[in-house]
Amino acid sequence: MGSDTIEHIFGAAVCVFAESGFERARMDEIARRAGVAKGTIYYHFKSKEELFVALMNNGMERLTAYLRRRLAQVEDPQEQLGEILDAQVRYLYDNGTFAKLLISEVWGSIERQRVFRARIRDLVSIIEEVIRRGEKEGSFRTLKVQETAVAIFGAISVAVLQELFRFEEQERQDVKEERIPDLVRNLETLIHHGLIYKEAE
Amino acid sequence: MGSDTIEHIFGAAVCVFAESGFERARMDEIARRAGVAKGTIYYHFKSKEELFVALMNNGMERLTAYLRRRLAQVEDPQEQLGEILDAQVRYLYDNGTFAKLLISEVWGSIERQRVFRARIRDLVSIIEEVIRRGEKEGSFRTLKVQETAVAIFGAISVAVLQELFRFEEQERQDVKEERIPDLVRNLETLIHHGLIYKEAE
Amino acid sequence: MGSDTIEHIFGAAVCVFAESGFERARMDEIARRAGVAKGTIYYHFKSKEELFVALMNNGMERLTAYLRRRLAQVEDPQEQLGEILDAQVRYLYDNGTFAKLLISEVWGSIERQRVFRARIRDLVSIIEEVIRRGEKEGSFRTLKVQETAVAIFGAISVAVLQELFRFEEQERQDVKEERIPDLVRNLETLIHHGLIYKEAE
Amino acid sequence: MGSDTIEHIFGAAVCVFAESGFERARMDEIARRAGVAKGTIYYHFKSKEELFVALMNNGMERLTAYLRRRLAQVEDPQEQLGEILDAQVRYLYDNGTFAKLLISEVWGSIERQRVFRARIRDLVSIIEEVIRRGEKEGSFRTLKVQETAVAIFGAISVAVLQELFRFEEQERQDVKEERIPDLVRNLETLIHHGLIYKEAE
DNA sequence: GATGAATGAGGTTTCATTCAT
DNA sequence: GATGAATGAAACCTCATTCAT
């Protein structure tokens, strides 16, 4: 069936793009792994670039949706921040390929940032909203909302990525259930309360 | 003088690599901007890869040295963390090209992480040392040292990068002196004290 | 009705072939403009080549038929030559797309000349017959019949083509009724009497 | 030597383009026949298109120069027209590959006509000048100058092309010295005096 | 030390054609 | 009769690297 083909292409593409990066990824390899002819990819996507953009949009939309779903489950801003941390760590950990691409291909290139501007906005603004609500409520410190949200996003992403690079695929699955809560707890403490034990004033 | 040639090549290479990324960067373009023939680059560097590695090592060494120098100027761990924040923000802001490469080419690729493992260790361990000292002293919270250091590194890098992408080259110089302190102050508060205004217990 | 489909395909094909030339013409585009699926074209024509040949044969047959019809209306060889001139100019002018293909795809390629040999013969021999009749009657100069016929054919075709390229589609319709007689009159004088005003002897 | 390489590429390109037409001509084949690597062609010419344009400009410039040289040898407009006929027939006959390309690729395509507009103008205007001089002198009939020049150009080109297609390469060389004068004489009579033996009035 | 013409493997993309529905 | 998703051969072009000067 038609939709099946696209699924296969998507599946193969995430892997190959993540393994090799956008430039080094070869359409041949994507086709081979998807079990379709090279031409078939071009029947569905105009170019390598378009395939990549479709893929990343898909991944970012799903991450956004997942974050919003998790967010809806709690009311208190502090708890919401916790949910976001846990959700983002979990999603990036489970979609390691996507995480790599997000950092290396989207975050580090101005052209790509332009292409994905809207989706990045969506993602960052979820964190922003929580920060704003916390501030209004009086439980959060007053900070530059956007800068802070981006920094939090960066802290989580880079931390997860580093973690992913430390273990090989198989090993990762084994330790996953103990590593994720650890990671989340650590980031949560850092972001909630900071490094300094007791505030001076 | 011969060393002059290498300087020119280095200067051109950082720009081109940062503008286009490693893969898309063309040796032709580097040669053109350096004002030398393509063969000359190959006389000094065995390959594109080697040129890139030399370049990044250089940049990371300089960042490391700069951080250490700044660190030596204060004693208190909390102030040291402040110095690191300011130093890293400033260096990445001033070397925007290098910052981009650090995120997109080094941080996001496992092969590159392997190549630069030692330098990354150096960089991250500076933050780690400060955290350990703060903990021992009792003024810092007890956290997973490495994970925290990486998260802080990520928070700073992504925040600066985002900032860099918001302004064009020229404009950047104009607002630099007011933006950097703003950025640093915000990151400092976040990392020192976290988002939550008052600790519950 | 089925024949309707073929009409649509033919109509789209002339346009696309003429706009892009045989090689650059894409079956996709022909199908799109004909309002049918690509497979439908292949249901009716074995290949792109076959579609093209069918198309050109059709056009050449119609030109031949038209020339013969016009020729039958007058008796005198000189008048017949005039009729041919007028008829060929008119037909090529009205079927600009066909005219282009005749020059670029049929006339300029030996393989195509082989394929259309018979039709080209038909076309050229109409002119040849008139020349022969004129010679026999004594009113025409004695010349190499075939070479002369081909030269006349070329003069008319290239002149009309040049004219067609000078005006855009719409504009062409507006000036058509004044340009065609002008063109014909000029060619007629040239071919009937030559450039030289008074023969020496 | 460098210039040698370009000569080889040019030589191979005319042949391949003429044999197969622009679209079907393969760069691989041109490279093979030129005895260079494919990349070498791209080192000297940015694209297939650019190679083709360079080639045709070269050919048209040489034809123009040759026509002007021949023209300068006689004074009388009627003799000049004869020279042009002889020169053009001879050049196209000797450069059959170029002749084919002129008709099929340049003359029959509006895009190409645009690209070569200036060179085509040069070529046609040589004939125009002779016609104008003849008119002024009173020895030539008054006709639309441009249209007439184009028609003459077309008559000659198509006639030569047809002749070229009738003989294979080798055979052509053998009959060349008797065929060219025949062709020229016939065209000369046609264009000088027209088909009609005696003017009626 | 420095040059730049030449290389050729390798990549993306195109598109006529097929075939199961 | 008609469809359109799928194919894969083939073409253009890129560019890191080499080497004779």
Q: What angle do CA D44, D45, D49 make, to 5 degrees?
A: 165
Residues C89 and C59 in one domain: yes
Structural domain includes residue D201: no
Q: Could you give the angle at which helices D2-24 and D48-71 cross, rounded to 10 degrees?
A: 100
Question: With contact defined as beta carbons under 8 Å apart, do D158 and C151 qualify?
Answer: yes
For chain B, the distance separating the N- and C-terminal CA atoms, rounded to the nearest angstrom, is: 66
Q: Which of B76, B93, B162 to mutate to test the interface with A (most CBs of A within 10 A)?
A: B162
Q: How far apart are CA B9 and CA B78, in angstroms?
A: 40
Residues D150-161: pLDDT tens digits?
A: 999 999 999 999
Which of C21, C140, C141 is opposite residue D109, by nearest beta carbon? C21
pLDDT digits (tens, 9 = 90+) for C170-197: 787 788 888 999 999 999 999 999 888 7
C109 interface with D at CB cutoff 8 Å: yes
C78 near D CB under 8 A: yes
Tokens read off for C159: 């002149």
In a domain, D172, yes or no: yes
Instruction: Tell me the Cα Rg of chain D.
Output: 19
- pTM for this structure? 0.86
Residues 6+ apart with CB under 8 A from D8: D34, D35, D36
Average pLDDT, chain D: 90
B97 and B174 co-located in one domain = yes
Residues C90 and C138 both lie in one domain = yes
Residue A91 burial (CB count, 10 A): 18
B23 and B96 both lie in a single domain: no
Of C153, C186, C199, the CB nearest to D158: C153
What is the chain D residue with the closest CA to C137? D197
Greatest alpha-carbon pair distance for chain D in Å reads 67
For residue D2, give how far its alpha carbon lies from the nearest alpha carbon of chain C (Å). Answer: 34
Q: Do B150 and A156 touch (CB under 8 A)?
A: no
Structure tokens at B91: 């260096």
Could you report the per-residue pLDDT of D36-72, keeping only the tens digit for each?
999 999 999 999 999 999 999 999 999 999 999 999 9
Taking an 8 Å cut-off on Cβ atoms, the answer to whether B158 and A156 are in contact is no
Give CA torsion, residues D111, D112, D117, D121, to 10 deg.
Answer: -130
* Mean pLDDT score, B8-13: 94
**With a 7 Å cutoff on the CB, does A57 touch strand F?**
no
- Give B49's contacts in chain A (Cβ within 8 Å): none
Predicted pLDDT of residue D111? 83
Instruction: Check residue B55 and report its DSSP letter.
Output: H
Asked if residue B133 belongs to a domain, the reply is: yes
Residue A157 near residue A102, CB atoms below 8 Å: yes
Same domain, C175 and C99: yes
Which member of C104, C131, C189 has the closest CB to residue D143?
C189
Which distant-in-sequence residues (6+ apart) come within 8 Å of D4 by Cβ? none
The answer to the question of residue B5 being in a domain is yes
DSSP string covering B73-87: T--SHHHHHHHHHHH
Query: For an interface test with C, which of D140, D162, D165 has the most C Cβ atoms less than 10 Å from its Cβ?
Result: D162
Q: Are residues C80 and C174 in the same domain?
A: yes
Q: C158 vs D194: CB contact, 8 Å cut-off?
A: no
CA of D128 to C1' of E12 (A): 48
pLDDT for the residue numbered C100? 85
A37 CB neighbours strand F below 7 A: yes
pLDDT tens digits along C112-151: 888 888 898 899 999 999 999 999 999 999 999 999 999 9
Q: Write the residue in A23, A158, A182 that is nearest to B158 by C-beta.
A: A158
Set of chain A residues whose Cβ sits within 8 Å of the Cβ of B159:
147, 150-151, 154
CB contacts of B186 in chain A (<8 Å) are 143-144, 147-148, 151
Rg (CA), chain B: 19
Residue contact A150–B156, C-beta within 8 A: no
Helices C145-166 & D169-193 angle (0-180, nearest 10):
80
Residue from the list D21, D108, D165 with its beta carbon closest to the beta carbon of C100: D108
Choose among B146, B153, B141, B158: nearest CA to B194: B141
**CB of D21 under 7 A from strand F?**
no
Q: Is residue A201 in a domain?
A: no
Distance of alpha carbon B139 from alpha carbon D171, whole angstroms: 100
Q: What percent of chain C has pLDDT over 90?
A: 66
Q: Do D196 and C155 touch (CB under 8 A)?
A: no
Residues of chain A with pLDDT below 50 are: 1-2, 200-201
User: Are A98 and A141 members of one domain?
Assistant: yes
First to last CA, chain A: 66
B23 — contact with chain A (CB < 8 Å)? yes
In whole angstroms, give the CA distance from residue B150 to residue D86. 84
User: Could you give the CA distance from residue A175 to residue D2 in angstroms, rounded to a whole number?
Assistant: 63
B111–chain A Cβ distance below 8 A for any pair? no
pLDDT, mean of residues C51-66: 92
Closest residue of chain C to D103, computed from CA coordinates:
C108
Select from B15, B116, B190 the residue whose CB has the most chain A CBs within 10 Å, as the one to mutate to test that interface: B190
Tell whether the model's pLDDT for residue C198 goes beyond 70. Answer: no
**pLDDT of C102-115, one tens digit each?**
888 887 778 888 88
How far is it, in rounded angstroms, from Cα A62 to Cα A66?
Answer: 6
Q: Is residue B198 pLDDT above 70, yes or no? A: no
Contact between chains at A155 and B157 (C-beta distance less than 8 A): no
Task: Determine the structural domain holding residue A116 and report its residue range.
Answer: 54-196
Same structural domain, D32 and D61:
no
Nucleotides of strand E under 7 angstroms from a protein beta carbon: 1-20
Is residue C201 situated within a structural domain? no
CATH of the domain at D97: 1.10.357.10
Does C116 fall in a domain? Answer: yes
Query: Is B109 within 8 Å of A24 (Cβ atoms)?
Result: no
**Residue B3 is part of a domain; what is its CATH number?**
1.10.10.60
Q: Are residues C70 and C162 in the same domain?
A: yes
Distance from residue A24's CA to nucleotide E11's C1', rounded to whole Å: 10
Amino acid, single-letter form, for residue C161: L
Which residues 162-191 in chain D show a CB within 8 A of chain C? 162-163, 165, 182-183, 186-187, 189-191
Place of tokens 């008319």: C156
User: A87: closest CA among A139, A148, A141, A153?
Assistant: A153
Residue D70 is encoded by which pair of tokens? 């021949």
Residue A131 lies in a domain: yes
Nucleotide of closest approach to B37 (CA, C1'): E3
Mean pLDDT on B25-46? 96
What integer pLDDT is reported at residue A164 of this predicted model? 87
Name the minimum distance, in Å, from the CA of D20 to any CA of chain C. 8
Q: pLDDT grade, residue D1 (50/70/90)?
A: very low
pLDDT the model gives residue A44: 96
pLDDT of residue C9: 95
Q: What is the DSSP string of chain A?
A: -HHHHHHHHHHHHHHHHHHHHHHH--HHHHHHHHTS-HHHHHHH-SSHHHHHHHHHHHHHHHHHHHHHHHHTT--SHHHHHHHHHHHHHHHHHHTHHHHHHIIIIIIT-HHHHHHTHHHHHHHHHHHHHHHHHHHHHTSB----HHHHHHHHHHHHHHHHHHHHHHS-HHHHHHHHHHHHHHHHHHHHHHHHH-SBSS---
D79 shares a domain with D35 = no
Q: Which residue of A has its CA nearest to B191?
A: A194
- Confidence at residue D42, expressed as pLDDT on a 0 to 100 scale: 97
CA distance C4 to chain D (A): 31
- Averaged pLDDT of chain B: 90
- Chain C residues in contact with D131 by the CB 8 A cut-off are 195
Question: Is residue C100 packed enough to be buried (19+ CB in 10 Å), middle (13-18) or exposed (0-12)?
Answer: buried
C154 vs D159: CB contact, 8 Å cut-off? yes
Reduced to 3 states (helix: H, G, I; strand: E, B; else coil), residue D183 is helix
What mean pLDDT is predicted for residues B169-187?
Answer: 86
Q: How large a percentage of chain D has pLDDT more than 70?
A: 96
Q: Does A76 touch chain B (CB under 8 A)?
A: no
pLDDT tens, residue by residue, B93-115: 988 888 888 888 887 778 888 88
Nearest to B77 by CA among B140, B121, B124: B140
Residues 6+ apart with CB under 8 A from B38: B27, B28, B31
CA atoms of D197 and C199, how far apart (whole Å): 10
Residues D142-154, mean pLDDT to the nearest whole number: 94
Q: Token pair 């070569």 is at which residue?
A: D116
- Same domain as D110, residue D181: yes
pLDDT recorded at residue A201: 43
Which partners does chain C have (≥3 C-beta pairs < 8 Å)? D
How far apart (Å, rounded) are the C-alpha atoms in residues A113 and A106? 6
Q: What is the DSSP letter of C118?
A: H
pLDDT in tens, B114-148: 888 889 889 999 999 999 999 999 999 989 999 99
Tokens 């960066």 found at = A154
C104–D contact, CB cutoff 8 A? yes
**Number of independent structural domains in chain B:** 2
B14 and B62 co-located in one domain:
no
Q: How far apart are CA D31 and CA D9, in angstroms?
A: 7
Q: How far is CA B82 from CA A191, B78, B176, in A?
A: 16, 6, 19
Chain length of chain D: 201
Mean pLDDT, rounded, for B160-166 = 87
Distance (Å, rounded) from C-alpha B133 to C-alpha B79? 12
| Of A43, A40, A24, A44, nearest in space to A32 by CA | A40
